[in-house]
Amino acid sequence: MGNLYLIRHGQASFGADDYDVLSPVGVRQSQALGEHLAQLGLRLDRCVAGDLRRQQDTARLALQALHHGGSPVPAIETDAAFNEFDADGVIRTLLPGLMADEPNALDVLRDCANNRSEFQRLFAIMVQRWHRGEHALDGLESWAAFIRRVQGGLDRVLDGAGSGDNIAIFTSGGTIAALLHLITGVTPDQAFALNWQIINTSLTQVKFRGREVALASFNSQAHVQLLRTPSLVTYR
């Protein structure tokens, strides 16, 4: 059987003007991941990443560290199917309908860097309404369309995979939630409950044979836990 390693990107710049940039912590997390994979002696046959900057940079830094550790590394293939869902679009579209129940929501979102826990609570509500289709989406990618996009990316990877290949997929938390939904059959609510637990640069391992897939492990954090640096364990 082959292995897919679903890897969430390193910590991005939450609360900054451009979220899609790795923070210094995100850079170190990505390097630590590659160093750990080199210590394990893992040989990657392929590497696929979404086209978001944080996904590409995580892949690049991890592969650099893996190569420095003595392992050959593949080129990075890009497939936008593994991009995150449009979180900003979800907020813009669903925030007006949230205001009646959460009158302070706009203030929280304007200063999300200093209101992380409250932002997460509100964001989880909006994501739930999005994937349940409880509001008009006004051109926003729906949950069903997102699932079709991710399924297409997974099918392309599997169709191009060799027997026994080890393939890294650098992606995002919401995309991993969608893949968990597709692979295990958990509900969208359950998938996003798991999503909120996925740390930056964690590994989720999926075994495959042809197009048959099975979850082997979820949200492995060993590469940062072994460094005994709590600041490297981040969720956003």
232: pLDDT strictly greater than 80: yes
**SS3 label, residue 193:** helix
CA pair distance 84, 159, nearest whole angstrom: 22
SS (H, E, C) 123-180: HHHHHHHHHHCCCCCCCCCCHHHHHHHHHHHHHHHHHCCCCCCEEEEEECHHHHHHHH
The domain segmentation of the chain, as residue ranges, is: 2-85+144-232, 87-132
Predicted local confidence at residue 42, as pLDDT: 93
CA pair distance 1, 15, nearest whole angstrom: 41
Query: Do β-strands 76-78 and 166-171 pair in parallel, antiparallel, or remain unpaired?
Result: unpaired
Helix (H) or strand (E) holding 102: none
Which tokens go with 202? Answer: 């964690």
Predicted local confidence at residue 78, as pLDDT: 98
Strand partners, 47: 76, 168
136: pLDDT strictly greater than 80: no
Cα Rg of the chain, angstroms:
18
Query: Residues near 234 by Cβ (< 8 Å), separated by ≥ 6?
Result: 11, 25, 29, 199, 200
Whole-model pTM over 0.95: no
* Measured CA distances, 196 to 58, 70, 137, 141, 190 (Å): 20, 34, 23, 21, 10
CATH of domain 2-85+144-232: 3.40.50.1240
Predicted local confidence at residue 41, as pLDDT: 93
CA pair distance 14, 226, nearest whole angstrom: 25
Mean pLDDT, to the nearest integer, of 113-136? 87
Q: Tens digit of pLDDT for each residue in 208-226?
A: 999 999 999 999 999 999 9
